Structure 1
Amino acid sequence: MGVFTRFIGLQSILLASFVLSLTIPYGYAAEQEAYSKVHEGVAKLGKQWNGEVNVATTDLFIELHNASDRSGVTLVSDISYGSHQLQVMDIVTPESESEELLPVVVFFHGGALIRGNKVLASTDLMLTNIPTFFARNGMIGVNANYRLAPEVSWPAGPEDVRDVLGWLRENIEQYGGDPQRLFVMGNSAGGRIVASYLFHEPFHFVDGPGVSGALLSSASFRSSDSQVQRDYYGDDPKVRDALVPLGLVDFYYGPQIPLFMWSAEFDPPWIEGPIAMMYSKLCEKYQDCPRFTQFQGHNHVSHIMSLNSVNEEVGLELLEFIESTTH
């Protein structure tokens, strides 16, 4: 009797294991394994940021995004919002039709104001994952390029943010987007130009900034004595201090804009410190702190590269912020 009971028990375990294996897609398991490699690789790269780390981080994510699902969306590429060759954007929409207009999230890439693109040169799997993520979650995703230094200088970046928003306000309904629910998002230098637009009222529209909220991802807020910043803002350090986001916010008296700011565990100190300063300034200005988190296990770009992958931590927080702001 005992032998029979053990036999039946073993059969039950084997059957349960078989059924469980049928419910976990192979692709999902492959993604989980790929993300484990990414997590370990990002940790090994550590708390530093330079071109080599950027390339290494991108390489870590290629396998993960090769396994990711990008179905159910439609891409329209290189829509012009201005006359310059870099003033173009991609719009990604859900394939399924909606009876109501959808929220819109427009993303601006990083690159120290002098480089970068809405699609990485090394692989079209990334930064395209960002608008794809939003479109697969019932929104309109937009990736925008902007003019770069040294060809242009201040205030070209925030002007391009304004012009993208202006185009979307006029045209996004044609793509199923709601011009009254625009969100603007930027990483690193992209976060710099977004914040510069937000905290400088002369850039705004007659009725205000024109956004329902902003997402600032490991944004670069500080001034420095680098040649890039000299070319962009000028040689006078006082002028540079006044024109970067940390300076602009001191003299911003417009409406409080819902913000979600975040940094990464492995962001370098020259990114982390100014983010903390910006957070403190906003808390003091409004007696009401913006939403903030530090994503553990991530570096300067890995959090945005994780969007539309098996790692849902970052994406879920972004969606929660947008949901809380639109309702």
Structure 2
Amino acid sequence: MMRVLLRCALIPFLLLLLAVGSEYTVARPSRRTADVPYVPATDTAYSAERHRLDVYAPRRKAAALRPVVVFIHGGNWDSGNKNIYAFIGRRLARQGVVALVINYRLAPQVRVPQMADDCARAVVWATEHAPEYGGDARRIFVMGHSAGGGLAALLATDTRLFQRRGLRQNPVRGAILDDPAGLDMYDYLQKMQYPGDAQYLVPFGRHPAVWRDASALYHVSAASPPFLIFVGGETYPSISSSSQRFRERLIAAGHPPQFAVLPGKRHVPMVLQLYWKRNVIYQELLKLVHSPAS
């Protein structure tokens, strides 16, 4: 079931149509800086294609620095590209946010721990360079859909990802999860309930200790930041159940998240709806990133 959900062949095509539409049919009071490397070319792990991000910033200058949202795409941990999601970057910039839409390395070249490290390096880059684009390095949030939602949750809960990169504290001030996948792959891969589930042994490997370590649910603590979690009312059971368990873990840690089930929404429409500026996810995101506590 999760295989069907995450490998839907229509996702890239539909998203590309929306991205093209956003580029040519919508006024663009934003500026895009494309293909910025967030890993030095001298790094032994450097990928000229995957270690890149696009910055979307409001054209209108502000007296104060703006909040920063790092968007992480989904795609089954083995596909996806930042270029498909230009519409999200532009929508966020139109609403006064500096958005970073990132690429990261994919399976089978790397596994999820390396993907999480890539995403963490993009956030570290934001702490160093966001002010150059009008962004506030002290107000960095992560956002992701599907597999990207699982990675965003991992960044927000596992501070070790940043300590390994020289930061003493986790710079993520909050996370927005849009129909997230992979929140508890330890449970999922032990059960192997659905045909084709063995494919996830490619991005996650065969060791249960790695499955657990790469699952955000097991890193929730009293230090975790605020979460917004949106789940489709018609999404797949694996996402619905793991999101509920993640919610319960946050509540137990003293951080009840804002949790919403969007009636009638399937997995793909959960990201396609971000084409519309007045979407409920944007409405709640803006409240979070502009909150005085953030």
TM class by shorter-chain length?
Answer: 0.7 to 0.9
Aligned in 2, Cα 1:141/1:56: closer, same or farther, shift over 3 Å?
A: closer
1:81-120 deviation line (CA, Å, top 9, x unaligned): 1121201000011111112111111100001110001122
The aligned counterpart of 2:36 is 79
Structure 1 runs not aligned, ≥5 long: 1-47, 121-126
1:255 and 2:213 correspond: no
Q: Which has the larger radius of gyration?
A: 1
Of 304, 308, 315, the residue aligned with 2:282 is: 315
The aligned counterpart of 1:5 is none
Aligned in 2, Cα 1:263/1:175: closer, same or farther, shift over 3 Å?
A: same
**Aligned counterparts, 1:156-305, within 5 A:** 156-205=114-163, 206-220=167-181, 221-223=183-185, 224=189, 225=192, 226-246=197-217, 248-249=218-219, 252-253=220-221, 255-286=223-254, 288-305=255-272
Aligned in 2, Cα 1:55/1:81: closer, same or farther, shift over 3 Å?
A: closer
Q: Larger deviation: 305-314 or 164-173? A: 305-314
| Structure 1 CA distance for aligned equivalents of residues 19 and 143 of structure 2 | 23
CA contact (8 A) 2:177 2:230 kept: yes
TM-score, with length taken from structure 2 = 0.82
Aligned in 2, Cα 1:66/1:170: closer, same or farther, shift over 3 Å?
A: closer
| Structure 2 CA distance for aligned equivalents of residues 194 and 292 of structure 1 | 16
Of 273, 277, 293, the residue aligned with 1:306 is: 273
| Structure 2 CA distance for aligned equivalents of residues 171 and 237 of structure 1 | 37
CA contact (8 A) 2:141 2:172 kept: yes
How many pairs are equivalent?
270
Which one-letter code corresponds to 1:312 in the other structure?
Answer: N
1:193-248 deviation line (CA, Å, top 9, x unaligned): 222222223213444210221111111113225344322332134542443223x3
Aligned in 2, Cα 1:212/1:239: closer, same or farther, shift over 3 Å?
A: closer
Which one-letter code corresponds to 1:270 in the other structure?
Answer: S
Alpha-carbon RMSD across the aligned residues, in angstroms, is: 2.5
Aligned in 2, Cα 1:84/1:138: closer, same or farther, shift over 3 Å?
A: same
| Structure 1 CA distance for aligned equivalents of residues 160 and 58 of structure 2 | 34
Secondary structure of 1:204's match?
helix
Secondary structure of 2:56's match?
strand
Of 92, 112, 119, the residue aligned with 2:56 is: 92
| Structure 2 CA distance for aligned equivalents of residues 66 and 203 of structure 1 | 34
Which one-letter code corresponds to 1:319 in the other structure?
Answer: L
Secondary structure of 1:163's match?
helix
The aligned counterpart of 1:40 is none
1:51 and 2:17 correspond: no
Aligned in 2, Cα 1:299/1:61: closer, same or farther, shift over 3 Å?
A: farther
Q: CA deviation at 1:293?
A: 0.8
Aligned in 2, Cα 1:164/1:233: closer, same or farther, shift over 3 Å?
A: same
Aligned in 2, Cα 1:152/1:104: closer, same or farther, shift over 3 Å?
A: same
Of 71, 92, 103, the residue aligned with 2:67 is: 103
TM-score, with length taken from structure 1 = 0.75
| Structure 2 CA distance for aligned equivalents of residues 55 and 234 of structure 1 | 26
| Structure 1 CA distance for aligned equivalents of residues 284 and 113 of structure 2 | 31
Q: CA deviation at 1:282?
A: 1.1
Aligned in 2, Cα 1:162/1:177: closer, same or farther, shift over 3 Å?
A: same
CA contact (8 A) 2:222 2:253 kept: no
| Structure 2 CA distance for aligned equivalents of residues 228 and 295 of structure 1 | 29
The aligned counterpart of 1:21 is none
| Structure 1 CA distance for aligned equivalents of residues 53 and 248 of structure 2 | 33
| Structure 1 CA distance for aligned equivalents of residues 156 and 281 of structure 2 | 23
Secondary structure of 1:262's match?
strand
Percent of residue pairs identical: 25
Structure 2 runs not aligned, ≥5 long: 40-45
Which one-letter code corresponds to 2:115 in the other structure?
Answer: G
Q: CA deviation at 1:321?
A: 2.5
Secondary structure of 1:157's match?
helix
The aligned counterpart of 2:42 is none
Q: CA deviation at 1:296?
A: 2.5
